[in-house]
Amino acid sequence: MFPTVTANVTYCDPKKEVPFLRQQLFYTNKKCMMMKILKNIGLGTAAIGRPVYINIKQEASAGFDLAAFRQKGIDMLDDAYDRGIRYFDTAPGYGMAEQMLVDWAMEKNDASIEVATKWGYTYVANFDPKATQHEVKEHSLKKLNEQWEASKILLPLLTTYQVHSATFETGVLENNAILNRLAELKRSHGLYMGITTTGANQAEVIKKALDTAVDGKPLFNTFQVTYNVFDQSIGPIAAEVVGQNKRLVIKEALANGRVFPNQDYPHYSAAYQLLNRLAQKYEVGIDAIAMRFCMDSIPISIVLSGAANGQHLSSNAKSDGFELDASEVAALKELAVRPQQYWDERKKLSWN
């Protein structure tokens, strides 16, 4: 067997705060090929780890088979890898996703794979698409330690550990026992330590986290945020995050499906026209335009694809193949709505 040879690779080093991979040349006993690493795109695994999610589906759901669902998830991880994605985001609250990622990554045995996981949510639906409750949130020291014991098996590919949906209500950012434990994990394992945010007051939560320190040292250096053409509320604080050389990861770039034309949202008709016009110009889908907006308006970021199948992933990945011009980014910025309106709409979406 020929040895693996790597060239022109910039690896993620949490100590140096450099998050992006470039491209990788590798040899195997079968072939030699140049693979482009998608530096700005990661794969979120919520949709491949549990049968339903808060979203507007574009197609009907088929019957659910657990074994087939898991195999489909593995196939999606392979597909993402083959397309050059190396950043994978997961959580215990994503059903089987974290364990699936453990099994897959160990078999891949590729040091360029980077895994981010979280703590704070427990999946409770037992893979029943008709369940009335899907997850339970708990920001306690007991839950942190419990979920860390399961997640640490992802080391050394685990580079990022996050408080799942940090809010003022749970008090997690003021719980000294939790903050000290997170600082210990960060120091012991060289991790990015972060939070994910949700809700109309994301910017305020991020500001609080930026100011959070343990023993005089800032604790958090990565922030996974909701940002898209409709909710741009973290825009100003994003500049501060990037300015402090911290990592920014964008989730829900497709606004849980609301970027696609939908008669239930007539107030977005102008947005749909603009998105469609740009999609036609660049010969991509509306999803690629929405993701590209995130990349071009906050260039130093990783944008998560939440694709549940290869067709969607292929369409999402096209966002890496072009750039919007300044006037187009400016026009898309005009689509922003009030954060409270955005999140009130989101609360009405169902698990499907």
The per-residue pLDDT for 33 is 46
The per-residue pLDDT for 4 is 32
Single out the residue of 287, 51, 93 nearest to residue 198, CA to CA.
Answer: 93
In one-letter notation, the amino acid at residue 199 is G
pLDDT tens digits, 114-149 = 999 999 999 877 677 777 777 789 999 999 999 999
Beta strand 121-123 pairing with 135-137: antiparallel
Q: Please compute the mean of the pLDDT values over residues 7-27 and round it to a whole number.
A: 36
Is the link from the previous residue into 218 a cis peptide, with omega within 30 of 0?
Answer: no
Using the 8-state DSSP alphabet, how is residue 91 labeled? -
Q: Please compute the mean of the pLDDT values over residues 49-57 and round it to a whole number.
A: 65
Q: Within a domain: residue 319?
A: yes
Q: Please compute the mean of the pLDDT values over residues 306-315 and round it to a whole number.
A: 95
Q: Within a domain: residue 88?
A: yes
pLDDT greater than 50 at residue 60: no
Give the pLDDT band (50/70/90) at residue 59.
low
The per-residue pLDDT for 63 is 63
CA distance 252 to 307: 11
Q: Please compute the mean of the pLDDT values over residues 330-343 and round it to a whole number.
A: 97
Q: Within a domain: residue 29?
A: no
Q: Within a domain: residue 13?
A: no
Using the 8-state DSSP alphabet, how is residue 256 labeled? G
Give the Cβ contact number of residue 158 at 10 Å: 21
pLDDT greater than 90 at residue 29: no
Q: Within a domain: residue 288?
A: yes
pLDDT greater than 50 at residue 329: yes
Give the pLDDT band (50/70/90) at residue 66.
confident
| CB-count burial class (<10 Å; 0-12, 13-18, 19+) for 83 | buried
Q: Within a domain: residue 244?
A: yes
Single out the residue of 159, 165, 44 nearest to residue 95, CA to CA.
Answer: 44
The per-residue pLDDT for 23 is 36
**Greatest CA separation for the chain:** 60
Residue 299, helix vs strand vs coil: coil
Answer with the residue of higher pLDDT: 16 or 89.
89
Scanning the structure block, which residue is given the tokens 């007051």? 201
How many domains, the chain?
1
Q: Within a domain: residue 233?
A: yes
- 8 Å CB contact between 298 and 312: no
Q: Within a domain: residue 1?
A: no
pLDDT greater than 60 at residue 339: yes
Range of the domain at 258: 39-347
pLDDT tens digits, 201-242 = 999 999 999 999 999 999 999 999 999 999 999 999 999 999
pLDDT greater than 80 at residue 321: yes
For residue 295, the domain's CATH number is 3.20.20.100
